[in-house]
Amino acid sequence: MTPDIATELTIQPIRRYGMDGAILFSDILILPWAMGQSLEFIDGRGPVLGAIRSAADLDKLDPKRVQDATAPVRETLSRLTKQLPGATTLLGFAGSPFTVSCYMVEGGGSRDFAETRRMMQTDPALFDRLIDLLTCQTAEMLCGQIEAGAEAVMLFDSWAGILPPSAFRRYVIEPTRQIVSHIRSRYPNTPIIGFPRLAGVMVKEYAEQTGVGTLAMDTVADPAEVAKLVPNLTLQGNLDPMVLFSGGQSMIQEVDAIRNALRGRPHVFNLGHGVMQHTPPENVATLIEAVRAP
């Protein structure tokens, strides 16, 4: 919500390490907040939201607020287009509908998202309404990011892996397909990256049916096996953040293993999940040297 700070935090790793891509410094929960759901970040607990548990709760959300509420995000992107090096790709992103719904229904983080899964089973009509709302608003928000300067966008479905196949198809694949279709109708040349974390073998259906152009792999995925399942897409990932945290020769070996597994096909080297707190910055520099080595 503070473009000066968000712009600086996005640029800092580019300035220090010369990475090829910069990702907007924001949060996946900006969308529910923009629609009027209460949100605060509490030390030791993380995000805390006013839980959506009924139709009355859902009716309080106002999608008409989103455009104005997310204006600082678009302002940050607009500033970044002017300040980033020309060779650095600017990425926008959003949480995927299912993952965002988990936080909205639970009222925060959870180990098993029991309340969300209970709503799926006991009140599927209400849960479908929530997913439909998020699908529509996420697509619009990403189009706004592209208009503001994002050169590619990424959908983070961090909790996709808690769903069985039937629910995965309904709440991960189908909303993603709709979002991709909406974006492509307006911005047909903008790359779209999908990250269905811990999806396992469901990545094949996800890749084939959603329309994303790049599949981001999580930490536990075997790049060589995913390459067989998904022969026609660019792959992204997937170094274990703990390996980066630890550094040393073992990190170099893991980097080489990923590069060798995907040699000869389009690949965006990345982590398989977020950077861990207290990761030594010198390890990041060593990682980039290893990735760019001949």
Greatest distance between any 2 Cα atoms in the chain: 59
**Tens-place pLDDT, residues 91-146:** 999 999 999 999 999 999 998 999 999 999 999 999 999 999 999 999 999 999 99
* pLDDT number for residue 111: 87
If we measure between CA atoms, which residue out of 224, 216, 214, 276 comes closest to residue 251?
Answer: 276
Query: Terminus-to-terminus CA distance in the chain, angstroms?
Result: 41
What's the rounded Cα separation, in Å, for the pair 173 and 273? Answer: 20
Pick the CATH number of 3-216 from 3.30.360.10, 3.40.50.10260, 3.20.20.210, 3.20.20.80: 3.20.20.210
What are the structural domain ranges in the chain? Answer: 3-216, 223-294
Residue-wise pLDDT tens digits, 191-209: 999 999 999 999 999 999 9
Predicted confidence at residue 73, as pLDDT, reads 97
Within 10 A of 41 (CB to CB), how many other CB atoms are there?
A: 11
Global pTM value:
0.96
Residues 6 or more apart in contact with residue 164 via CB below 8 angstroms: none
